[in-house]
Structure formats: structure tokens, C-alpha cells
Chains A and B, each alone.
Chain A
Amino acid sequence: MKRFARLLDDLLFSPSRLTKLRLLKDYFATTPDPDRGYALAAIAGGLEFRFAKPATIRGLVESRVDPALFGWSYDFVGDLAETAALIWPVTPADDAASPHLSEIVDALGGATRAEVMAQLGVWLDRLDATGRWALIKLITGGLRVGVSARLAKTALAEMGNVDIAEVEEVWHGLRPPFPGLFAWLEGKGPVPAVDRAATFRPIMLSHALDEGELLSMDPAGFRAEWKWDGIRVQLVGRSGVRRIYSRTGDEISGAFPDILQALTFDAVLDGELLVRRGDDVGSFNDLQQRLNRKLVTDRMLAGYPAFVRLYDVLFEGDEDLRPLPFTARRERLERWFAGNVAGTALMARFDLSPVIAFADWPALREIRAHARTRGSEGVMLKRADSPYVAGRPKGLWFKWKRDAGTVDAVMMYAQRGHGKRSSYYSDFTFGCWRDTENGAELVPVGKAYFGFTDAELLQLDKWVRNHTVERFGPVRAVEPKLVCELAFEGVQRSTRHKSGLALRFPRIHRIRWDKPAGEADRVETLAAEIQE
């Protein structure tokens, strides 16, 4: 437990992906089975205990500590697990007595809640503060140390010097503590034999289109579809096993029970997960109501029902369709849809992403200009003969996004960045003008923290330092004098922002050193672009 707690602590404070990878690899390489396997499961998912509710933890602590002191401490620290871990009265224990992670996992596996609570006090007595923190996080179900399942798998792949796709192929067929997986990665055993039916298949990704490339591309050799503004998912229904994976292979079945129960078929499908609002497709903003939920209420299911717009098929039954050309797979998808979905109740959960007919590139460019009214981000181009290839192969799939919107906005606040940028003011809040009784005022419309070069960052940082009018902790208010042209993907209504709207993916397109702040855009100009 000590090593695992130290790992979580180190991960929590590591600003960079590379450091996290190094920490994970080091831990896996030097920690014996089965502890490392349980640690992997705790981090990457597959090991979750919900024995202890916050109130239970609090009650346990207050049985040992003066409740008044606990109350002030909790107010000061602000996090229950951390307060409990820090305030727990230290009882001297030698190292040998501190429980192993596997010991804890084993005990939790067969125990009732009452037994767990009795045992928890004993464990807490035998751990140091970081150990106690990790244990409470583990049993209350929320590690939150900034490591995705994908990152953990990347560490495994690097450790075994194999492609991450190979790890993905076996991952979902394995159970903690993964002894066969580690043996394979360390060269001490064969690739673990798993029932691969329900595993995630690494998905195929596209490149952003450089319009110059169109000259050398034959329009007849490509198929076009709308690029939808949801999240990419892989649906797996194989011999009774149902799973929904995100594009990175994280399982998100739990958040979408409405989709999961509709996976009554035997196939692996690729598509875009979206939500409905009334008769329309909801915006990305609406979809966010459904993302990353551990608990899905009936209200959410009714207010934001999810569906998947299908655009590819990877398996039908046991048949692997990935080697087939796109047009053949599309045909199979349409046939499958007609036979399994059309005319059934599943229509509420699935539809087909239409193929856009076009004669040549100028025609498609014209169609693409209307992407916004279709609730789409642009168009996708897929080579007609492209097999389904994992990763981002060159020359097969392209995304041709609609042109970004732009707005001239005035810098209002600046904040220091993180990691390598911690010495720079690199996160900026921008505002546009609106009229009030007392004249024009600036109201924030969005934050931008990329889009500039390193040299421009130096200039911006210097400008912020020389034009600061007020400081609030790490934030500086600056003179409203610098105009930047922001590019953005869309405008949404927002109740959080004073301006009533928020920009999607805003970034700095150009710094307008030349432009007087008074000539920056007005809030109404942006409001006209809100997509309902």
C-alpha cells in the first residue's frame, strides 16, 4: 500500500505526461504481482469499491478525533479524504505491519459493509498519511490523479516494448490482477489468451485536410459524410456481452445505459454519440450533460436521450470486416441496418450517417459551407477503397472542417500557465463590448491559451506584466487595450458567463497590436451566431 500511495501522490503532482509515464513504468517494473495488477486496475478502471460514503468516513474519524477540531480542519483543507487522512491520530507502527494493496483488495472483495468499516480503522492505524489518503480515495471510488486508462496502457506498452494496439486487443478480456499480462510484457510468458469477442478495437482516425491536397485527389475516389459534433464511440455487442468504448478505449458503458440496453445484436460498430433535444439533435453543450456521469438519473435519460449515428461496421458476427474497402463496409452497414434496426424500436437509438453526393470539389465546398445549419462541424472525406486501419494512416481519411468563426476581442485578464508555462502569463480571458446605461463595457466571452508562437508568448507575457492594473492571486487584470483576433468553432449560450454566451475552442488567431480596443467586436455580433 505504501508504494501504491506514493505512486498516486507522485502522479497527482506530475505536470507532464512523460513524467507520469515514467512513474507508471517504474512502478510496474519494480512492484511484484499481485500488487501492481491491482494498482493498474485501480488506476485504469476495473477495480471499484463503493463501500464507504463520505458520511461514513466522517463518522469513523469523529469516533477518534474531536469533532470540533475535525470541523475546522475540514473547512480549512476542503477535501474529506485528505482531511481524514491528515487528522487521523498517528499510532506508531513498524513498516512490516502496513497492509499490502492486495491484502486490502482481497479483504474488500468478500466483506460486508460493516466488516469493511471495522477493518478500515485497523488499516488506517497501520498506514502513514499518504497511505491513509490513498486508501480512503480507493474505497470511496475517486482516485483523480490525472491518469487515463489510455495512459496506463501506454505505460504497459512501453514497458513491454509492444504496440499499444496489442495491449488494447487483450485488455478487456483480462481481469485484475493481470498476472498473464505482466508476464507477457516482461517476456516471461505468451500473449495472454483471451476471448477477444468483446474487446475494444483501436479506431481509425483522420487527418485535417490541407486544401492544397485536393488538387491531387480524385473526387470519384472519395466518399463524403458530415462531420458530427458529438463523441466518437465504438459499440460492441458480441454473444451477450455489451460495451461502449470511447475513441481511446476507455469503457463508458456506465454513463449510457439507454444505448447499452439497445446493443441487442452481434456486431462491432463505429459511430458518433449524440443526444436529442425534443425533435432536434442536441448541441455539444447538451451532450456534456451526459458525459462523465457516474450516476445517470431518469431525468437525464429523459431530457437528453442518447443515440448513435453510425458510420462504419468492423465486425458482423464473427466476420472481421476491417480488411474490406470502405464502400463494401458501407454496403454491409446499410444492409445490416435494414435488417436489424429499421422498423424496430432500435430506431430511437441508432441512425445512419448519410453519405453526401457531390460531383467535384467545388460542389463539396459549397455543401460544406452549409455545415453549420446541419449542426455539423464540416465534412469527412473517406477514400472509397480504404480498409479500416487502426491509428491515423496517411492519405485515407480526411476531415475538412468548416471555416472557423473569428472575432476581435480585448484582453481583460491573464493567468499563469502550468508546467513549462508556469513562468508565463499564457492563459487569457477576452471580452467584447456591450452597451450599458453608463456607456460601453467589456464582458468576458472566452478564454484562450494557445494559437500563438513561442515568440508571441514572450511578447504577450511582457505586455501583461507592463499593463497590469490589479492582481487577484494568480490572475492579473490588464488595461483593456490589446485586441486579439480569436478563432472559434462555435458560439453557445451560457448561464455562467456574464455575456450570456461562450466560445467553443477559442484560440488566438492573430494579435492585433495595431487595432484600437474601441474597434473590437460587440457581444451582439457573436450572439447572432449562437447555435440553438
Chain B
Amino acid sequence: MVAINTAPKPSDWVRQTPQGLCVEPGGFFIDPVRRSARAVITHGHSDHARPGHGKVLATAETLAIMDHRLGGEAGRERRPLRYGEALDIDGVTLRLEPAGHVLGSAQVVLEWRGSRVVVSGDYKRRRDPTCAPFVPQECDVFITEATFGLPVFRHPPDAEEIARVLHARAIFPERCVLVGVYALGKCQRVIRLLREAGYEDPIYIHGALVAMCELYERLGVMLGELRNATGAGKDELRGEIVLAPPSAIDDRWTRRLPDPVMALASGWMRVKQRARQRGVELPLVISDHADWDELTRTIDEVGAREVWVTHGREEGLVHYATGRGIRARALDLVGYEDEDAE
């Protein structure tokens, strides 16, 4: 990196505003929560990819997801950027690098006058068969999420959780296993993980998941045979695996299912009380966010002198970084939801 003395202070050019993170010399926002003239979008989840922006810069996959979800509101002018491809915006060099969160998700790597800032967006470090893996980027300032920023959050290996789904299916042949999954990312990841575990049977999905799965397949993520659960009869669904959005797993829609074993795939399922409150019978700790070990390892790897925490359980991560001699602070950005909301 360039001699530190001459580089601008990061907080002089990347600012926290009510609209979101603003890269001032480039005149653009990252994941702005209000309509903005120029927006860089890290990934397609609805709290990050909001409607009505002017120019939108993101990966081609994220743009496709926004197109699908927001239609005419997906941005007036859309510019796809490949991972690793550099772009100059009024003197700010910008690159997108994989974040490993969902298909198309990206970290934003920013350089201006020798100062380098990386915005992680939402990310995870473990392998995900539906998207490119996170690559740590050295930087001066690392702006990170902290959804699971406490050491009680350690996600177990995915394969163990998937094995529990298959076990439940085996011991309850007269019921079905109903798994709550977010429509974008978690759904397709769980399907791929099931396929990797050798599960070849058709997987039944709630109508609200169909279009996103089709989009994933068009983008090259193959999911095997899927059937719409909404039209299927009770008897057809006995012994089957059914996926539905979290909001549907305890609502009226489930009355069509044969005594479902209610499962929910979320990092929050690590806490038994949370799972019990939701009435979940089979809690699956499968998250698209980094757990505590991944968050802290990443801070160690990127070698930043400063860490800014955008949202989540920031006090723990700030405490960790401070203990490592890294300047750290919480930004308290509003408008980004915890994992449950997607």
C-alpha cells in the first residue's frame, strides 16, 4: 500500500449518512436505504437492493435478481461488473469481489488516493455450492457486518444439518419435513446441499420460491427436480421434503401438508429458546452470514488498521478488534435486517 502519511483519512471520503454509506468523491452510495442517483448494490436481498435508484452498479447476477424482484423499479440504468474487474468512478477505483453470501453477492473494494476501504456486505466464509467463495481483501479499513457477532454463534458443518433433515424424513415416513428457507439464497443452497448428500427425489417447494429457483437455474445453478407443493395432495407429500418461506411454515398454507415436521434453516436456530419460541421442531443451523469464528478470522486476515461495523451484534466484534489493537467502531446503520427478515 502507498505511504500512509499522504493518504486521506478514510472517514474523510467514506461517510455514514442517513441514506447509507456514501463514497463522497465518487458521488455514490453502497446499498442505500433510500432512492439514490447512484447506487452500488452488494447483493439482491430486499433490505440491501431497494427499488427506485438511478444508476445501479452490481454483478450481473445481482442485477438479474433485482430485475426479477423489482421489475421496472430495479434502477433506471444498470451496469453489470464482473468480479475482479476495476472501474474508475470520478477518481475512485472500484472492484467487486465475491462475498460468498448468495449468488452474485459482492464485497466492494474502494481505493482513493492510496487509501483502501473494503465493504464486506453480508458475507460468509464457508463453502456454498450456489455462489463463489469469499476472498479476503487487504485493506486499511474493513467495513463489516456482524449479524452473528457474538461467540455463542458458531455454525456447525452444513452436512451435519442436512443429515438431520434426511434423518427426520426417514423416521417420519407418514409426515413431511417442512423446511423454512429464505426465497433468495438459502432455498437454493439447501436444495444443492440435499443433492450433494445424495438426495435425488423431487423436492417440493412453496409457490413463492418457484420463480427464484428458476432464475438460479437460468444463471447456471442446477437444482434437480422441483415440484410445486401448492398443488400437491396430502398423500403425495407424505415422506417428502417441502421448502417454504419462513413466514409460511406456521401459517395457513401448511394445513395442506401431512402433519409437517417443522424445520427452519437459520443461524438463530443455534439458540434453543429462539427455536422453541418459533415452535420449530427441527432447528437447522444453516446461515448465509459469517459466524463468530469467520468474522474474527476475516478481521485478522484483511490486516485493516480500522474496522467499522455496520449492523448486527456490533459490541462483541468492536471489543474483539480493539483487543487486537485495531481501531474499531459501530456505525449503527439502520435499515438492514437481521437474518430472519429476508
Residues of A within 8 A of B (CB): 9, 12-15, 19, 22, 26, 65-66, 68-69, 72-73, 76-79, 82-83, 86-87, 90, 129, 133, 416, 418-420, 422-423, 461
In residues 236-262 of chain B, which contact A (Cβ within 8 Å)? 250-255, 259, 262
Assuming A416-B250, A418-B279, A422-B250, is B315 touching A72 (CB within 8 A)?
Answer: yes
Q: Mark B25-55, 1 if CB is under 8 A from A, else 0.
A: 0000000000000000000000000000000
Contact between B154 and A12 (Cβ–Cβ < 8 Å)?
no
Tell me the nearest residue of chain B to A83, going by C-beta.
Answer: B152
Tell me the nearest residue of chain B to A76, going by C-beta.
Answer: B150
Bound form: Cα–Cα A9–B252 in Å: 27
Bound form: Cα–Cα A508–B247 in Å: 29
Indicate if B276 sits at the interface (CB-CB under 8 A): yes
Contact between A423 and B281 (Cβ–Cβ < 8 Å)?
no
Assuming A13-B280, A423-B255, is B150 touching A73 (CB within 8 A)?
Answer: yes
In residues 284-333 of chain B, which contact A (Cβ within 8 Å)? 313, 315-316, 319-320, 323
- Chain A residues, Cβ within 8 Å of B153: 86
Assuming A90-B154, A129-B154, is B313 touching A13 (CB within 8 A)?
Answer: no
Which of A69, A133, A416, A420 is the most central at the interface, judged by chain B CB atoms within 10 Å of its CB? A69
* Nearest Cβ on chain B to A164's Cβ, whole angstroms: 24
Bound form: Cα–Cα A68–B151 in Å: 11
Bound form: Cα–Cα A82–B268 in Å: 13
Bound form: Cα–Cα A420–B283 in Å: 17
Name the one of B152, B250, B279 contacting A86, with C-beta atoms under 8 angstroms.
B152
Name the one of B171, B255, B279, B313 contacting A76, with C-beta atoms under 8 angstroms.
B313
- Chain B residues, Cβ within 8 Å of A82: 271-273
Name the one of A78, A87, A423 contacting B251, with C-beta atoms under 8 angstroms.
A423
- Chain B residues, Cβ within 8 Å of A68: 319
Tell me the nearest residue of chain A to B150, going by C-beta.
Answer: A73
Bound form: Cα–Cα A231–B272 in Å: 33
Given contacts A13-B280, A76-B313, A129-B156, 18 further A-B pairs with CB under 8 A are: A13-B276, A15-B281, A26-B171, A66-B319, A66-B323, A69-B316, A69-B320, A72-B313, A73-B316, A76-B271, A78-B273, A83-B152, A86-B153, A86-B154, A87-B151, A416-B279, A419-B279, A423-B254
* Nearest Cβ on chain B to A457's Cβ, whole angstroms: 11
Contact between B279 and A422 (Cβ–Cβ < 8 Å)?
yes
Assuming A69-B316, A72-B316, A418-B279, is B152 touching A12 (CB within 8 A)?
Answer: no
Tell me the nearest residue of chain B to A81, going by C-beta.
Answer: B272
29 A-B pairs with C-beta separation under 8 A: A12-B276, A13-B272, A13-B275, A13-B276, A13-B281, A13-B282, A14-B281, A15-B279, A19-B281, A22-B171, A26-B171, A66-B151, A68-B319, A69-B150, A73-B152, A76-B313, A77-B271, A82-B273, A86-B151, A86-B154, A86-B270, A87-B151, A129-B154, A129-B156, A416-B279, A419-B279, A420-B259, A423-B251, A423-B252
- Chain B residues, Cβ within 8 Å of A419: 279
Bound form: Cα–Cα A416–B273 in Å: 17
- Chain A residues, Cβ within 8 Å of B282: 13
Bound form: Cα–Cα A416–B250 in Å: 9
Question: Across chains A and B, which 7 residue pairs bring their CB atoms closest together, nearest first?
Answer: A86-B152, A422-B250, A73-B152, A73-B150, A422-B279, A87-B152, A423-B254
* Nearest Cβ on chain A to B153's Cβ, whole angstroms: 8
Tell me the nearest residue of chain A to B277, going by C-beta.
Answer: A474
- Chain A residues, Cβ within 8 Å of B151: 65-66, 69, 73, 86-87
Bound form: Cα–Cα A393–B254 in Å: 40
Interface of A is mostly: helix
- Chain B residues, Cβ within 8 Å of A65: 151
* Nearest Cβ on chain B to A210's Cβ, whole angstroms: 33
Bound form: Cα–Cα A422–B251 in Å: 7
* Nearest Cβ on chain B to A137's Cβ, whole angstroms: 11
- Chain A residues, Cβ within 8 Å of B272: 9, 12-13, 79, 82, 133
Assuming A69-B319, A82-B271, A423-B252, is B259 touching A76 (CB within 8 A)?
Answer: no
- Chain A residues, Cβ within 8 Å of B152: 73, 76-77, 83, 86-87
- Chain B residues, Cβ within 8 Å of A418: 279
Contact between B150 and A13 (Cβ–Cβ < 8 Å)?
no
Tell me the nearest residue of chain A to B253, going by C-beta.
Answer: A423
Contact between A79 and B273 (Cβ–Cβ < 8 Å)?
yes
- Chain B residues, Cβ within 8 Å of A22: 171
- Chain A residues, Cβ within 8 Å of B281: 13-15, 19
In residues 157-187 of chain B, which contact A (Cβ within 8 Å)? 171
Bound form: Cα–Cα A9–B269 in Å: 12
* Nearest Cβ on chain A to B148's Cβ, whole angstroms: 10
* Nearest Cβ on chain A to B248's Cβ, whole angstroms: 9
Assuming A15-B281, A73-B151, A86-B152, is B250 touching A423 (CB within 8 A)?
Answer: yes
* Nearest Cβ on chain B to A292's Cβ, whole angstroms: 20
- Chain A residues, Cβ within 8 Å of B271: 76-77, 82, 86
Bound form: Cα–Cα A76–B279 in Å: 19
Bound form: Cα–Cα A400–B323 in Å: 71
* Nearest Cβ on chain A to B274's Cβ, whole angstroms: 9
- Chain B residues, Cβ within 8 Å of A66: 151, 319, 323
Which of B253, B280, B316, B323 is the most central at the interface, judged by chain A CB atoms within 10 Å of its CB? B316
Which of A65, A76, A90 is the most central at the interface, judged by chain B CB atoms within 10 Å of its CB? A76
Contact between A72 and B150 (Cβ–Cβ < 8 Å)?
yes
Q: Mark B135-154, 1 if CB is under 8 A from A, else 0.
A: 00000000000000011111
Bound form: Cα–Cα A156–B150 in Å: 42
- Chain B residues, Cβ within 8 Å of A13: 272, 275-276, 280-283
Tell me the nearest residue of chain A to B319, going by C-beta.
Answer: A68
Contact between A77 and B259 (Cβ–Cβ < 8 Å)?
no
- Chain B residues, Cβ within 8 Å of A19: 281
Bound form: Cα–Cα A313–B108 in Å: 81
* Nearest Cβ on chain A to B191's Cβ, whole angstroms: 23
Bound form: Cα–Cα A418–B283 in Å: 16
Bound form: Cα–Cα A416–B153 in Å: 29
Tell me the nearest residue of chain A to B293, going by C-beta.
Answer: A90
* Nearest Cβ on chain B to A139's Cβ, whole angstroms: 18
- Chain B residues, Cβ within 8 Å of A26: 171
Bound form: Cα–Cα A248–B297 in Å: 54
* Nearest Cβ on chain A to B322's Cβ, whole angstroms: 10
- Chain A residues, Cβ within 8 Å of B262: 422
Tell me the nearest residue of chain B to A473, going by C-beta.
Answer: B277
Name the one of B171, B273, B276 contacting A77, with C-beta atoms under 8 angstroms.
B273
Bound form: Cα–Cα A13–B313 in Å: 26
Tell me the nearest residue of chain A to B280, going by C-beta.
Answer: A13
Bound form: Cα–Cα A77–B272 in Å: 9
- Chain B residues, Cβ within 8 Å of A14: 281
- Chain A residues, Cβ within 8 Å of B323: 66
Which of A78, A79, A422 is the most central at the interface, judged by chain B CB atoms within 10 Å of its CB? A422
Tell me the nearest residue of chain B to A70, going by C-beta.
Answer: B151
Bound form: Cα–Cα A419–B259 in Å: 9
- Chain A residues, Cβ within 8 Å of B319: 66, 68-69
* Nearest Cβ on chain A to B165's Cβ, whole angstroms: 14
Tell me the nearest residue of chain A to B317, going by C-beta.
Answer: A69
- Chain A residues, Cβ within 8 Å of B156: 129
* Nearest Cβ on chain A to B64's Cβ, whole angstroms: 34
- Chain B residues, Cβ within 8 Å of A83: 152
* Nearest Cβ on chain A to B2's Cβ, whole angstroms: 35
Tell me the nearest residue of chain A to B281, going by C-beta.
Answer: A13
- Chain B residues, Cβ within 8 Å of A86: 151-154, 270-271
* Nearest Cβ on chain B to A444's Cβ, whole angstroms: 22
- Chain A residues, Cβ within 8 Å of B316: 69, 72-73
- Chain A residues, Cβ within 8 Å of B276: 12-13
